[in-house]
Chain A
Amino acid sequence: MVRKLMVDSSICTGCQYCEIICSLHHSKAGEVNPKKARIKIVSDILHGKDKPVVCRQCQQPVCLAACKFKAIYIDTKLGIALVDTARCTGCGTCVESCPFGAMFFDPVENVALKCDLCGGEPQCVRFCRTFPHTGYPALAYVEPRQWATRKQGTVRPGEPYHDTD
């Protein structure tokens, strides 16, 4: 089974380290710019909720099928969909098509921004902190099955850390 970026919104603190590191890693100019990140934290600060949104690396990518310019292709190394920026026209069809809202857009470069797993070593997960009282991070590069079993039993009684009301 392939590894993916797995998320648990109930643990996410909204620190944006993932966005920060993602944007810096992919920037040719050496810039930090969370708005150009390929992972996005959708926040509802007022209600204490943060949700990391990132590509699910579909087996049959909806975005790939939606692109009329063949700008999205399957990379042979990791077997995931990638954006060919030379072909991307910036039409935004893929952004609309992604059922998870996980395809982003760079309005300055006018290209689609998709998580490429940093070629197999996702940088965001390096900075997503595992808290001692939760035992696992909000973001991990793991097999989905592994993630599911890890999750069990981590919510200890008397230690609420996500919305239970």
Chain B
Amino acid sequence: MEGYAGRIGRVNLSNRSCSIEPLNYEDARLFYGGRGLGAKMLFDELQPGVDPLSPGNKIILMTGPLTGTPVTAANRYVIITKSPQTGLFLDSYAGGWFGPELKFAGFDALVIEGVSPHPVYLLVEDNRLSIRPAGHLWGKRAYETETAIKKELGDEDTRVAVIGPAGENLANLAIVQNDYFHQAGRGGAGAVFGSKRLKGIAVKGTGGIKINNPARLVAYLAGPVENKFSGTGGGLLGSVADRMKYGTPFTLNITNAIGILPTRNFFYGQYDRAEEINAEAFRRKVVVADKSCYACSMACTKFSRARTGPYKGAEVGGPEYETNALFGANIDNPSLEAIVYLNRLCDDLGLDTVGAGNVVGFTMECYARGLITSNDLGFTLNFGDVAAVAELLEMMAYRKGLGDILAQGVRTAARYFGQNSETFAMHIKGLEYPAYRPGPVSPGFGLAYAIAERGACHRRAWPALAEQQLPPFSTAGRAQLVKMLYDQRIPWHCGVNCDIGVQVPGLGFAEAAEMYSAVTGREVTPADMQLLADRVATICRCFNLREGATRKDDTLAPRSFMPEEIGPGKGKSLSKDMLDTMLDEYYALRGWDREGVPTGETLVKLSLDAVAEKMAQLGFKPARGINQGIKGEEYRGAQINGR
């Protein structure tokens, strides 16, 4: 099969050994690549119950057969690991150029195990792997680290992924950042890097990626795919044009209108100053240039600069919608210039802007309610106080004072603060809500959040708009919709493609099947894409079940069940019964039982016989209580002290 590099690099940091293994093509036929193949490898290789920050956890950095090819937005890599934040399955994606470069260097994937005694970084060069010292880089912030590695290697075109101080200090909110402005943001992959004392990965490749049928692929891209972008009216589809002009921040107009824009720690679903941070304001005030990742002509990275005010001069590739919402409406900050600044600061510290924005909103609410005071913090923390937020972010990345707790995420913070603060701690399975606020106007988003295996996540199914066509304030049709939207993304998550780059023009199973076929030379059909989606959803589920997750974990934060104060859903609420109804329906559609456990029949139908065997050995029962993501303390303490 073409498209694949055919090799997996395995690195054990404990004994400094590097080896190269052939890709298992049998697995690749079933799981394709990226999320699917990575999930299979993680399920097979990880000891159940392993502490996410212990040497036993692994970083499986995957590309897919489409990565680096001309296929629309085929620019991603995904880090598959056990999340320190949820103790469950984590797949965290990033765009840019790093993923394609790994393929050009001859690798489909890297598997990183063990823990290094000293800080190191990994160098991948045309079929060679080497471990290099990073003592001189340890402590440096992310942007500086990337530049330093490029300088050291004497090649500006090297693609580099790094962690910042937050990752070194094992913050659950720590990201991996590559190509300066691209982040594998959610779930704490940066902390797993930090736990292994892995400061980064540098990749240089001069090889090519073989395409089975280039003429077929190029003709398909220039024809049917291009027609998807332009729609029937000629020119460009309106939705595509909006994303090209405003990037993801266009979403803010939608969520504010529907009433699901998180405002003041998700208390409200609409922001009274939204027009100061909406798509038009964004383009007018801060956007400087349209930037794309590899092989994507959407250019949703809007390079931005604060042109006025106290943060004048701050620049960032972004911000994305999530950041505008969570560091805007959610903390009651109507200044886009301040958002650009905070975005850059988070990146540099190595913090996830989504998780951090959520935690900051939560902390502000705690402060407003008097659960914490300026004595606890050393300063006041009113909603909208950007300077205080900057201070708080530094404390989180360096684990100073209260920042030590906050860096572990909102679940841990709520446990620490107590006093009922868990009722407004916005997370699922330990992962902070991104910038969508499920509620009576969006029950489907509630379901999408609840069933996402990495915790509250908007990138598995995105029913925000489609749901508005269904009967309002009802669960009708939500399970079917969410499953369909979730499944549609899976071929791309295995590709690995950017789901925005393909979803906005509406590329579905048919397009995926055609492009997989043209690239790999193995003819696959839309029905094969559906099978792949079901298979991947189910193996991820099995991973979580094995770690002790149950139906009880497929829920929402208590605040999501409260009646709406304002907006289109005023006075109404999303009830637990509604969620239960949707879960029952969703599990049934998946061929899982009422507890969300895939039946033996389903597993066999999906060619997951080996998984079925392992699950049977466990009696299909949860093996242990759900890992609450705080077991890592032991290792954290040992590592921080041992440095």
Contact = CB atoms under 8 A, between A and B. Distances in A.
Contacts of A160: 287-288
Interface stretch (A32-40, A92-100, A144-152): A32-40
A13 B292 contact: yes
A47 B181 CA distance: 11
A45 B206 CA distance: 20
A162 interface: yes
B315 A20 contact: no
A29 interface: yes
Given A45-B317, A131-B299, A32 B293 contact: no
A132 B206 contact: no
B212 interface: yes
A48 interface: yes
Interface in B204-234: 206-214, 218, 221-222
Contact of B211 (A10, A31, A159): A31
Contacts of B222: 126-127
Interface in A1-59: 10-11, 13-17, 20-21, 23-25, 27, 29-36, 45-50
B96 to A, nearest CB: 8
Contacts of B315: 47-48
Contact of B214 (A24, A46, A133): A24
B244 interface: yes
B141 interface: no
Contacts of A49: 289
Among A25, A45, A126, A162, max chain B CB count under 10 A is at A45
B214 A48 contact: no
B317 A30 contact: no
B236 interface: yes
Nearest to A159: B283
A131 B208 contact: no
A24 B209 CA distance: 9
B554 to A, nearest CB: 38
The 5 closest A-B pairs by CB, nearest first: A31-B208, A48-B303, A33-B208, A15-B292, A129-B297
B241 A30 contact: no
A10 to B, nearest CB: 8
Contacts of A33: 104, 206-209
A90 to B, nearest CB: 16
A31 B307 contact: no
A15 B293 contact: yes
B305 interface: yes
B288 A24 contact: no
A160 B533 CA distance: 41
B69 interface: yes
Interface residues of B, number: 47
Nearest to A134: B290
22 contacts: A11-B290, A13-B289, A13-B297, A15-B297, A17-B70, A20-B295, A21-B218, A29-B210, A30-B211, A33-B208, A33-B209, A45-B179, A108-B206, A127-B297, A129-B244, A132-B236, A132-B244, A132-B245, A160-B288, A162-B288, A162-B289, A163-B288
B294 interface: yes
Given A14-B292, A32-B208, A132-B245, 16 more contacts: A10-B289, A13-B289, A13-B297, A15-B292, A24-B70, A27-B214, A29-B210, A30-B210, A30-B212, A32-B209, A33-B207, A127-B70, A131-B244, A132-B235, A134-B290, A159-B284
B70 A107 contact: no
B122 interface: no
Contact of A23 (B97, B147, B208, B305): B208
**Most chain A CB neighbours (cut-off 10 Å) among B97, B143, B235, B292:** B292
B458 interface: no
Contacts, number: 120
B569 to A, nearest CB: 34
A69 interface: no
A13 B299 contact: yes
Contact of A161 (B69, B147, B207, B287): B287
A87 to B, nearest CB: 24
Most buried by B among A50, A108, A131: A131
Contacts of A134: 290
B296 interface: yes
A124 B518 CA distance: 20
A15 B294 CA distance: 5
Contact of A48 (B147, B207, B296, B317): B317
Nearest to B297: A129
Contact of B291 (A35, A48, A123): A48
Contacts of B283: 159
A158 interface: yes
A104 B297 CA distance: 25
B68 interface: yes
Interface in B261-305: 283-284, 287-297, 299, 303, 305
A46 B291 contact: no
A133 B288 contact: no
A134 B241 CA distance: 11
Contacts of B296: 15
B180 interface: yes
A140 to B, nearest CB: 15
A164 B632 CA distance: 49
Contacts of A31: 208-211
Contacts of A29: 208, 210
B70 to A, nearest CB: 5
Interface string B232-249: 000110000100110000
A45 B181 contact: yes
Nearest to B205: A35
Contact of A131 (B2, B245, B288): B245
A160 to B, nearest CB: 7
A84 B462 CA distance: 53
A132 B104 CA distance: 33
A108 B208 CA distance: 11
Given A15-B299, A20-B70, A29-B210, A48 B294 contact: no
B211 A17 contact: no
